[in-house]
């Protein structure tokens, strides 16, 4: 893997993950309470994006852990 991210960069990635989850809450409520189908589609799309971002975060965290062992 290329050079690992710094702890500060990983904190930024973590903040992005949290923001992504927070941004889904409004659409989730619209879907669950008001039965807004379009909001449900936005939530599902956001979840796919979250999965992708989480995978990236995991890869970077593992890379950082490997640099600690060296």
- Are the CB atoms for 13 and 57 separated by under 8 Å? yes
Amino acid 7: pLDDT: 92
- Are the CB atoms for 69 and 26 separated by under 8 Å? no
Find all residues with CB under 8 Å of 53, minimum gap 6, and list them.
13, 16, 17, 20
| Model confidence pLDDT, tens digit, residues 17-46 | 999 999 999 999 999 999 999 999 999 999
The tokens for 62 are 């593992």
- Determine the number of helices (DSSP H) and then strands (DSSP E) in the chain: 2, 0
Amino acid 70: pLDDT: 75
Amino acid 1: pLDDT: 43
């Amino acid at each position: 893997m290329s050079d690992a991210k710094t702890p500060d960069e990983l904190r930024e990635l973590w903040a992005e993950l949290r923001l992504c989850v927070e941004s889904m809450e409004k659409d989730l409520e619209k879907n669950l309470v008001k039965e807004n189908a379009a909001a449900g589609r936005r939530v599902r799309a956001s979840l796919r994006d979250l999965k992708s971002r989480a995978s990236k975060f995991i890869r970077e965290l593992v890379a950082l852990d490997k640099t600690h062992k060296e």
